[in-house]
Amino acid sequence: MAAVTPTIEDLAVEHAIAKVAESFRFVLDVTPVNVQEEREAFLSGKTRAPAFEYRELEDAPAVLGAELAAIDLDEVQEPALRSLLAAKHAELQLQIDMLCVRGTEDFRRLSTELYGRIGDTLVRKADTILAEVPPPDGHDEQRVNAARFAELADRELDHYRALEPDLGVHVDVRPDVAGVMVSGSVLFVSSATRIRESRVEALIQHEVGTHLLTYANGRFQPIGLMASGLAGYEETQEGLAVLAEYLVGGLSRFRLRQLAARVVAVRRMLDGDSFTAVHEAIVEHGFTAGSAFTTTMRVFRSGGLTKDAIYLRGLLDVLRHVHDSADLDLLWMGKFGLAQLPLLAQLVDRGLLNRPRIRPRFLELPTTKARLEAAATLSGVDGLIGGVT
């Protein structure tokens, strides 16, 4: 079928799907609100199986499902747009189904459907990293508290606000989130967060320079889903965000080992290991009990979330893209998967999408060009291992 320009009816359907996508915060909704309390109880030996609690959903999943079901995809005439919307419609339905079964084994099964199977090849690569990359020295490093980190992240956002006052993103410190995460337009920082000084810049470029910036650029696109994310966008987003860490010199031995440990934890969880057994396995790989708790919690939340395996898989995919392409700008024009890039590039050429309005600040740093050239030479896990500090 020949390509046509989207009609008003096409865009109305797209906006309806985008509205559903932006009406709930999936990762926030499946993450415990009592992590700190359960961490203390587990590490002190008071419990062997943390009892995680979750926030009340703002909208009942049944209502979200009804809104989604009312959207008629057959009304979309533009073929490329219809393909993108159909995939997002299916993904949203899967996420809504997962919210209905938080805390059950059905959640785990649906998570594997959402994020894909954890293949043996990826697990072997993770095992290789854990075997060949030594744990960092155990010296006690200065840490930045939540308020200071939020201040630094907001200062980074000021650079982008000067370029585009209507950025539409902000930082929020609160006690009922775990760690640091972006959901939609907000960078959430747990009030209990303490971040190693050496990780601060890398984490800012991961969360602000990638996740928030692609959200902001997506808001300026004619297709609103470019902000909330096309189907399957998370793997490429996380890979791109970890690449940003590398480009600012922040992909450390600990961080690379952490990404590998997440893959191992997901596989063990799917194989039926208990929370305690997975935690012990991560500790045996050279992580502290506290760090291992965070990794294990992330994997077991809501009944079993397999999302954490996509960080390493996404990074390896993005590195292959860097090896093959000199133009990375389009990766910041919104949230999408690498598999969708050829189609989206065509839409840019046709004037249906815009190139990124704002480029990441770190791409302008003098040291970034050399690191980007080095990233293009990294081949698989062996090259990645040689590229960390």
Q: What are the pLDDT digits (tens) for 42-78?
A: 999 999 999 999 999 988 999 999 999 999 999 999 9
**Could you tell me which residue, 224 or 138, shows the higher pLDDT?**
224
User: For residue 1, what pLDDT is reported?
Assistant: 40
CB 118 within 8 A of CB 306: yes
Residue 152 has pLDDT above 50, yes or no: yes
User: For residue 272, what pLDDT is reported?
Assistant: 97
* Dihedrals phi, psi of 60, to nearest 5 degrees: -60, 135
CA distance between the termini of the chain: 51
How distant is the alpha carbon of residue 98 from its chain centre?
A: 18
pLDDT band at 141 (very low <50, low <70, confident <90, very high): confident
Q: What are the pLDDT digits (tens) for 312-343?
A: 999 999 999 998 886 789 999 999 999 999 99
Reference 146, options 196, 195, 201; nearest CA is 195
pLDDT band at 3 (very low <50, low <70, confident <90, very high): low
Q: What are the pLDDT digits (tens) for 368-386?
A: 988 888 888 876 677 777 6
* 351 Rama class: left (phi>0) / alpha (psi -120 to 50) / beta: left
Stretch 153-163: mean pLDDT: 97
Does the model's pTM come out above 0.85? yes
Q: Which residues, 6+ apart, have CB-to-CB distance to 165 below 8 Å?
A: none
Stretch 148-154: mean pLDDT: 98
Q: What are the pLDDT digits (tens) for 217-247?
A: 999 999 999 999 999 999 999 999 999 999 9
d(CA 349, CA 240): 23
Q: What are the pLDDT digits (tens) for 21-39?
A: 999 999 999 999 999 999 9
222 residue type, one letter: P
How distant is the alpha carbon of residue 371 from its chain centre?
A: 22
Reading the block at residue 77, the tokens are 């005439």
User: For residue 58, what pLDDT is reported?
Assistant: 87
d(CA 338, CA 137): 36
Report domain extents, the chain. 25-58+101-386
| Bridge partners of residue 186, in order along the sequence | 170, 183
The chain-wide mean pLDDT, for the chain, equals: 93
Stretch 181-197: mean pLDDT: 95
